[in-house]
Amino acid sequence: MRIVVVGSGGVGDAVARIAARRDFFETMVVADYDPARARRTVAAAAEHDVVGGRFVAAVVDASDAGAVEALVREHSGTHVLNAVDPRFVMPVFAGTLAAGADYLDMAMSLSLPHPERPHEEVGLKLGDEQFALAGSWHDAGRLALVGMGVEPGLSDVFARYAADHLFSSIDELGVRDGANLVVHGDDGEPIFAPSFSIWTTIEECLNPPVIWSAERAAAGSGTADGWYTVPPFSEPEVFQFPEPIGPVECVHVEHEEVLLMPRWVDARKVTFKYGLGEEFISVLRTLHTLGLDSTTPVDVKGVAVSPRDVVAAVLPDPATIGPRMTGSTCAGLLVTGTGADGNPREVYLHHIVDNAWSMAQYGAQCVVWQTAVNPVVALELLAAGTWSGVGVLGPEAFDAVPFLELLAAPVPDGYGSPWGLEERAV
């Protein structure tokens, strides 16, 4: 397996650091538009390379499908891992197929709200552009494994596991994501510094959230009629996360799980709620009010700039805030329905990563580490032939057990990052 990682920001950097300690691949090319950033990632990974000499730095323009194809061909890449912002999904997706390689990503092609009823009906959904090309991937005998981060990704693996091993029928698959992370400034006081790409966060939090309903699908013509939208930040609820996080207010957010899970897992309802917190929601509302969430370039003294790119430029790089961050992050799936024994059941499948641990072990802050570990596990399963397939597939299309076992198994057999199952009162 020869892996090409497109993007060496926070997640791409963590991917290389994690993969360096595994021996399932021959080469990993880390490519970025900034050659210095790619070289830094390669140097950090090389320090822990259990084989030696496997990491190569390269330059690529992720907005150019031809450049991606040329990069993959130059390095004889067999698998491309897309680790850049979702605005670049389609050129990386197309360039990978043209190069004859397999593809993985952690975020899917962008959505467009319904032009007339954005808070009631879906428009172009997350991943629609990718699924529209599923036939081309299938005909080429190539695999595009989409949404294979943590959320989407691990939560989708949890959905497959719950359907196969825990429940006879599922009422709701409810992704719930929260944290107790705090970033400190030079004076030790908390500061506003998102732990993930602010560009992506704005996109998913200010777009109309999507919900899926089996009842709506049955009343219509099938799965596609089950998706509908609500206003951003709808239906706040205080969700009790496992310790050390505790209660966090969560709201509906647009996210890929809701677009993926109904394609492979039977459930009456699928939702995604994110624990943003009052301050974060206030900041996002202000950005929207001022038009600073826009991606349409505006003229600033003769220079065309995207307001959202300016916001991203003035905030701390998520890859650099780890040393100033404390707390833990939790990704998980609340599943309600009828258990295998015929009784009502409610479980929260979850994965918690402590920032002090991920920084000490990998030099990566916990949010990017938690996102990055999952595609590396998936790549190892693909390299072993444990997972295989063609076409455009989500994580739910594969057996969950090998993934969860490899993720949790102690090092060196596995990745030493256990997940949890918490039974909840019905």
pLDDT digits 0-9 by tens, 233-254: 899 999 999 999 999 999 999 9
Using pLDDT thresholds of 50, 70 and 90, give the confidence band for residue 9: very high
Q: Angle, nearest 10°, between helix axes 35-46 and 10-19?
A: 30
Do 92 and 199 lie in one domain? The reply is: no
Q: What would the two tokens of residue 243 be?
A: 């310790």
Residue predicted with more confidence, 410 or 186: 410
- pLDDT band at 84, cuts 50/70/90? very high
- Read off the amino acid at residue 222: G
| Position 316 pLDDT exceeds 90 | no
Token pair belonging to 233: 């930040």
Are residue 71 and residue 184 in the same domain, yes or no? no
What does each C-alpha distance from 365 to 165, 177, 312, 416 come to in angstroms?
32, 17, 18, 16
Q: What is the mean pLDDT of residues 172-183?
A: 95
Q: Exposed/middle/buried for 410, CB within 10 Å: 0-12, 13-18, 19+? A: exposed
Residues 173 and 52 in one domain: no
**Residues 324-329: what's their mean pLDDT?**
93
86 and 7, same structural domain?
A: yes
3-class secondary structure per residue, 141-152: CCEEECCCECCC
Is 249 inside a domain boundary?
A: yes
Please state at what angle helix 154-161 crosses helix 256-264, rounded to 10 degrees: 30
Terminal-to-terminal C-alpha distance of the chain? 46
194 shares a domain with 68: no
Q: Around Cβ 50, how many Cβ atoms within 10 Å?
A: 11
Do 88 and 80 meet the contact criterion of CB atoms below 8 Å apart? no
Q: Is residue 279 in a domain?
A: yes
What is the Cα–Cα distance from 128 to 256, expressed in whole angstroms?
11
pLDDT of residue 81: 98
Residues 32 and 171 in one domain: no
Average pLDDT over residues 279-291: 86
Distance separating alpha carbons of residues 316 and 314, to the nearest angstrom: 7
Model confidence band, residue 1 (pLDDT cutoffs 50, 70, 90): very high
Least confident piece of the model among 51-60, 190-199, 289-298: 190-199
Residues of the chain above pLDDT 70, percent: 100
The predicted pLDDT at position 280 comes to 82
The answer to whether position 121 is within a domain reads no
Say which residue, 276 or 294, is predicted with more confidence.
Answer: 294
In a domain, 404, yes or no: no
**Same domain, yes or no: 247 and 333:** yes
Domain presence at residue 409: no
DSSP β-bridge partners for residue 338: 169, 344
- Domains: count for the chain: 2
The domain that holds 288 is classified in CATH as 3.30.360.10
Listed residues 87, 105, 123: the one ending a domain: 105
CA distance linking residue 63 with residue 375, whole number of Å: 22
Q: Of 107-116, 123-132, 188-197, 399-408, where does mean pLDDT reach its minimum?
A: 188-197
Per-residue pLDDT at 62:
98
pLDDT, residue 240, reads 96
Q: Which residues, 6 or more positions from 377, have their beta carbon under 8 angstroms from its beta carbon?
A: 403, 406, 407, 415
The whole-number pLDDT of residue 189 equals 84
Domain containing residue 24: 2-105
Asked whether residue 331 falls in the same domain as residue 184, the answer is yes
Alpha carbons within 13 angstroms on the beta-carbon side of residue 386 total 16
Rounded mean pLDDT of 75-101?
97
Q: Is residue 143 in a domain?
A: no
Phi, psi for residue 85 in degrees, rounded to 5: -55, 150
pLDDT at 44: 97
Amino acid residing at 92: V
The stretch 13-31 carries a mean pLDDT of 98
Helices and strands: H and E segment counts in the chain? 15, 21
Residue 195 pLDDT > 80: no
Name the nearest CA neighbour of 348 among 160, 154, 175, 163. Answer: 175
Cα–Cα distance, 136 to 60 (Å, whole number): 24
pLDDT reported for residue 320? 82
Q: Angle CA(260)–CA(152)–CA(332) in degrees, nearest 5?
A: 110
Asked whether residue 75 falls in the same domain as residue 187, the answer is no
Over range 52-67, report the average pLDDT: 98
Taking residue 389's Cβ as centre, other Cβ atoms within 10 Å add up to 16
Q: What is the pLDDT of residue 298?
A: 93
The residues with which 223 forms a beta bridge, in sequence order, are none
Is the entire prediction scored with pTM above 0.85? yes
Q: What's the rounded Cα separation, in Å, for the pair 249 and 178?
A: 8
User: 226: number of CA atoms within 13 Å, CB side?
Assistant: 20
- Asked if residue 215 and residue 94 are part of one domain, the reply reads no
Is there a domain that residue 32 lies in? yes
Instruction: Give the C-alpha separation, 400 to 385, whole Å.
Output: 14
User: What does the block give as tokens for 383?
Assistant: 């390299």
Residues 71-96 as b or e (16 or more Cβ within 10 Å = b): bbeebebbbbbbbbbbbbbbbbbbbb
Nearest 5°: phi and psi at 322? -50, -45
Q: What is the pLDDT of residue 263?
A: 97
> Are 54 and 173 found together in one domain?
no
pLDDT of residue 199: 80
Q: Are 218 and 234 in contact (CB under 8 A)?
A: no
For range 384-409, the mean pLDDT: 98
pLDDT at 135 over 80: yes
Name the token pair of 227.
Answer: 């998706």
**Domain shared by 160 and 308, yes or no:** yes
Band the pLDDT of 277: cuts 50, 70, 90. Answer: confident
pLDDT mean across residues, the chain: 95
User: Residue 398: helix, strand or coil by DSSP?
Assistant: coil
- DSSP letter for each residue of 350-386: EEEEEHHHHHHHHSS-HHHHHHHHHHHHHHHHHHHTS
Determine the average pLDDT of the residues in 152-164: 98
Above pLDDT 90, what percent of the chain? Answer: 84
pLDDT score at 426: 85
193: pLDDT strictly greater than 80: no
Asked which of 73, 105, 137 is the last residue of a domain, the reply is: 105
pLDDT top residue among 125 and 281: 125
Q: Spell out the residues 6+ positions from residue 357 whose beta carbon is closer than 8 angstroms to its own.
A: 366
The domain that holds 36 is classified in CATH as 3.40.50.720
pLDDT of residue 35: 97
Q: Mean pLDDT over residues 137-148, rounded?
A: 98
Is there a domain that residue 136 lies in?
no
Average pLDDT over residues 177-195: 85
**Contacts from 34-38 at CB under 8 Å and sequence distance 24+?**
34/8, 35/59, 37/8, 37/9, 38/8
